[in-house]
């Protein structure tokens, strides 16, 4: 009897000591959050290398890695209009070590455009920080005769042209669809898997038109390999001061602007979101970083995390109406 009691006492003591050691080795959740990040962070880009999303993601990754003291690895997971990469992040562990460099398409447009998505982008992500807005630019192959918007409209009414985009449902696609609607013209949509992928076909006139993210097409415009007819934003771009807005060039009321931002999976630890937001905001406030983004055709964005979350919801509601009114669907 004495030996049994002794063994039970020893076992209980051992279990108690094991529990103490386990607690000592495993910090509580709030302590783990305070240590964030203590390993590399993966920043998923849902479009291909060279896209505007990719270029901005690499600027953010470089700057944030220095500010956070941890490596940030950019990974491209392109396809399905950005849904492959976005879906990957939506299903990732919500620990702050897998983030999404999202865009208007992945986080505001696609939920209405793709009825059979396996995730709801409005519920699967926490908006962390807006990074930049980027205008698209209407470009044509040099072989196209038109040298202004009105000239292109006339050519579209007389010819069977096609237009390229970085993927179905993105800002490039909807920029073109809005153009078709307002100008009462038609073009055949040829979707690609990334922003830079269509350029060889565009320059060789296999496709004739593209509403291209300005950072992607700017070098080719400057080299004379593409012809810029107008920018989609409400104001002219300082990078192309002699190129008019599409609205002023002959299509009143036309205005589309893309945006790119950081998102985290929902249920990420609460302390991580404000940390990432504040570090991103301070990064974008750096004159050197802001200048780098502007040289790529973007405009840095700052503001509170709450304001950004409200902006994403408003963008979703706006594009949902456009998609419904235009009866646009992608299965």
Q: For residue range 189-215, what is the model confidence (pLDDT) as tens digits?
A: 999 877 788 999 999 999 999 999 888
Q: Is the dihedral of CA 219, 255, 100, 287 positive or negative?
A: positive
Measured torsion, CA atoms of residues 244, 246, 249, 250, in degrees rounded to the nearest 10: -170
Are 74 and 59 within 8 A, CB to CB? no
Tens-digit pLDDT profile for residues 229-280 = 999 998 999 889 999 999 999 999 898 888 999 999 999 998 999 999 999 9
Name the band, by pLDDT with cuts 50, 70 and 90, for residue 331. Answer: low
Six token digits for residue 279: 């570090």
Measured CA to CA, the distance from residue 105 to residue 87 in angstroms comes to 13
Q: Which of 312, 305, 301, 311 is nearest to 274 (CA)?
A: 305
Q: From CA 283, how far away is CA 14, in angstroms rounded?
A: 50
With a cut of 90, say whether residue 302 has pLDDT above it.
no
Q: Would you state the pLDDT for residue 33?
A: 63
pLDDT at 255: 87
Percent of the chain at pLDDT exceeding 70 = 89
At 321, the pLDDT band (50, 70, 90 cuts) reads confident
Distance from C-alpha of 275 to C-alpha of 74, rounded to nearest angstrom: 20
Mean pLDDT across the chain: 88
Mean pLDDT of 297-324: 90
Q: What pLDDT digit, counting tens, does each position of 140-161 carry?
A: 999 999 999 999 999 999 999 9
The mean pLDDT of 117-140, rounded to a whole number, is 95
The fold adopted by the segment(s) 135-231 is D-Maltodextrin-Binding Protein; domain 2 (3.40.190)
Locate the domains of the chain by residue range: 41-133+258-325, 135-231
pLDDT in tens, 63-95: 999 999 999 999 999 988 899 999 999 999 999
CA pair distance 189, 175, nearest whole angstrom: 12
Name the superfamily (CATH) of residues 41-133+258-325: Bordetella uptake gene, domain 1 (3.40.190.150)
Is there a shared CATH topology between the 41-133+258-325 domain and the 135-231 domain? yes
Contact 75, 44 (CB under 8 A): yes
Q: Which pLDDT belongs to residue 24?
A: 44
């Amino acid at each position: 009897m004495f030996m049994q009691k002794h063994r039970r006492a020893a076992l209980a003591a051992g279990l108690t000591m094991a529990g103490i050691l386990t607690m000592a080795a495993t910090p509580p959740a709030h302590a783990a959050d305070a240590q964030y990040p203590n390993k590399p962070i993966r920043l998923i880009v849902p479009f291909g290398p060279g896209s505007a999303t990719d270029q901005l993601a690499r600027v953010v990754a470089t700057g944030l890695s220095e500010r956070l003291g941890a490596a940030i690895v950019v990974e491209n997971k392109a396809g399905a209009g950005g849904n492959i990469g976005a879906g990957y992040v939506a299903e990732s562990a919500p620990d702050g070590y897998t983030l999404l460099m999202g865009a208007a398409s992945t986080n505001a447009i696609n939920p209405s455009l793709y009825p059979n998505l396996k995730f709801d982008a409005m519920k699967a992500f926490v908006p962390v920080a807006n990074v930049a807005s980027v205008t698209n630019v209407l470009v044509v192959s040099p072989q196209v005769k038109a040298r202004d918007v009105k000239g292109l409209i006339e050519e579209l009414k007389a010819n069977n042209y096609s237009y390229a985009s970085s993927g179905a449902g993105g800002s490039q696609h909807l920029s073109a669809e809005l153009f078709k609607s307002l100008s009462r013209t038609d073009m055949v949509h040829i979707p690609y898997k990334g922003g830079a992928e269509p350029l060889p076909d565009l320059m060789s006139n296999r496709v004739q038109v593209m509403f291209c993210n300005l950072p992607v097409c700017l070098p080719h415009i400057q080299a004379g390999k593409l012809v810029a007819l107008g920018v989609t934003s409400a104001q002219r771009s300082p990078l192309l001061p002699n190129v008019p807005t599409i609205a002023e060039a002959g299509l009143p009321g036309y205005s589309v602007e893309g945006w790119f931002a950081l998102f985290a999976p929902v249920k990420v630890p609460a302390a991580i979101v404000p940390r990432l937001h504040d570090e991103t905001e301070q990064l974008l406030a750096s004159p050197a970083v802001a200048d780098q983004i502007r040289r790529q055709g973007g405009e840095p964005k700052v503001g509170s995390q709450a304001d950004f979350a409200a902006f994403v919801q408003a963008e979703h509601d706006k594009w949902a109406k456009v998609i419904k009114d235009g009866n646009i669907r992608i299965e």
